[in-house]
Chain A
């Protein structure tokens, strides 16, 4: 370790409190990436990526498997060196200032990085120690984190007895233990049941409320929508869109309202009913007995539609608003389908 790191590393230790603001007043961009390139042999995993993230916000990195999301996270957390370009976290260069930067970040990677032969508490306390928290502090924080993640009852059991969801929560707990101002979560909800997932979302919002910045990668539009203030869509190592969830969905044509009639013979009347509510002609699908229109107005439109169907005496099997799926976002952004997502039934139907 070079002597120049001494002061910085020790200085950042004692004043660590919940959501401590970064000393780097110089920038509001807690994450700044410019023209980042990383190749593995012939594969260009990152091919000139540029974006930034602000403090107190969640940035969602959305993309299919192999898009380069994890490579990006690994570079930003100093696990990988970029080939070229600039990556700064909290104003610190990921290559030159790695040591100082690491005390300001928390990482939960894709594979659970918890030690099976230690208890949950031992896992957390050791990570706290390695963040250079004082002993009293890391013991207290470990207990708090266990309580927070509903792991208190299992705290002193070996992790190998934990369920998948418990391991994942512990893994996330490890990245929270020192309250780092910048959190990197790489597909954090993969393999979590809905309850744990909602719990995690709540945690993330809480950390952001306390002033932290979160960068999370996900394959799920819903997750990005729930959590992210801004979404950066990446594909094949490049940024193909950058904006809020609404902006992205607007580019895909937004949500659609779908009505499924009970009797096939009602289909034409349903088209007429919906035609009044939409500037564009409704799409009808005889096989699915389904009619759809763009749903700009959301809830009001849904209520209005329901009332009109009732007045017209048309029985319905289903009525609802469907948000665009990641697949549709992809389709509209890239002109091709994204490999893993299942096309929705409405689209496979002829």
Chain B
């Protein structure tokens, strides 16, 4: 298998998944959940939550951006499980195509979808009162961090999808880790308001690190440490779950 052929296989898989995406209402549905969260936190809970030095809308909206790509990443699990269940993966595996293409092609589609969802969320975020207080370079870097984090989670969800092999379970299994990271974090409330035993985890887990980095990039403040930490987390998660997904995929039907 030459790299050129493997790349062609990968483009083919990405094209297939994109065609599927635009032909299902799924894309809109997955934007709907983050939109609901945005409205919930902006208009219902904003009055009840106090954050030091700034408005709640500027505090929570960067976190909602991140949540939107995580929710989008959950479709990776569902997509993989659907393919496995339908017998399509058997066809793919019986073809001379590069075995990595099914996985990498899916992750490219997921990345493109993340960009679309994030763009929608940024527009809506600004519409409900969020303001960037930063320069273009820092804003762009913040977006890159969000997309990188979402991309890493696509790989985690792909592994979940291959492991559970049915779309229903994949939906549920993907929800757990995402919600744990979202609520035990600095995304919605300041860490200092969490119970003491949870603060250590909440402060250092990857989503909190990324939220801190993105907030600093969008609203000013020293971001460098958290930016590097976030990128390291995203790279680590992506690589680890790529390896896991690939080995699960190779064995998926082979036992």
Contact = CB atoms under 8 A, between A and B. Distances in A.
A333 to B, nearest CB: 31
Interface in A22-77: 40, 74, 77
Interface residues on A, range: 35 or more
B2 A6 contact: yes
Contacts, number: 88
Interface residues of B, number: 29
A105 B254 CA distance: 18
A122 B16 CA distance: 8
Contact of B90 (A1, A9, A79, A158): A79
Given A79-B254, A109-B87, A131 B20 contact: no
Interface stretch (A113-121, A297-305, A316-324): A113-121
Interface in B236-252: none
Contacts of B93: 78-79
Interface stretch (B5-13, B33-41, B173-181): B5-13
Nearest to A112: B87
B109 to A, nearest CB: 13
Nearest to B5: A132
B98 interface: yes
A130 B96 CA distance: 7
Nearest to A108: B91
Nearest to A106: B94
Contacts of A115: 16, 20, 88
A80 B20 contact: no
B91 A109 contact: yes
Interface in A238-256: none
Interface core residue of B6, B20, B93 (most chain A CB under 10 Å):
B93
A315 to B, nearest CB: 54
A344 to B, nearest CB: 34
B15 A99 contact: no
A1 B20 contact: no
Contacts of A126: 12, 15-16
Contact of A122 (B19, B24, B94): B19
B101 to A, nearest CB: 8
B92 to A, nearest CB: 7
A291 B15 CA distance: 65
B1 A1 contact: yes
Nearest to B3: A1
A158 B94 CA distance: 23
A311 B64 CA distance: 94
B127 interface: no
A71 to B, nearest CB: 11
Contact of B23 (A9, A79, A102, A117): A117
A111 interface: yes
Contact of A77 (B2, B5, B12, B94): B94
Given A79-B94, A117-B23, A130-B95, A111 B87 contact: yes
23 contacts: A5-B1, A6-B1, A74-B253, A77-B94, A78-B94, A79-B90, A79-B253, A81-B254, A107-B94, A111-B87, A111-B90, A115-B16, A118-B19, A122-B16, A127-B91, A127-B95, A130-B9, A130-B12, A130-B95, A131-B96, A132-B8, A132-B96, A174-B91
Interface of A: 1, 5-6, 9-10, 40, 74, 77-81, 99, 102-103, 105, 107, 109-115, 117-118, 122, 126-127, 129-132, 158, 174
Given A9-B5, A174-B91, 15 more contacts: A1-B6, A1-B98, A10-B5, A74-B90, A79-B253, A99-B96, A107-B90, A109-B87, A111-B87, A111-B90, A113-B86, A114-B88, A126-B16, A127-B91, A132-B8
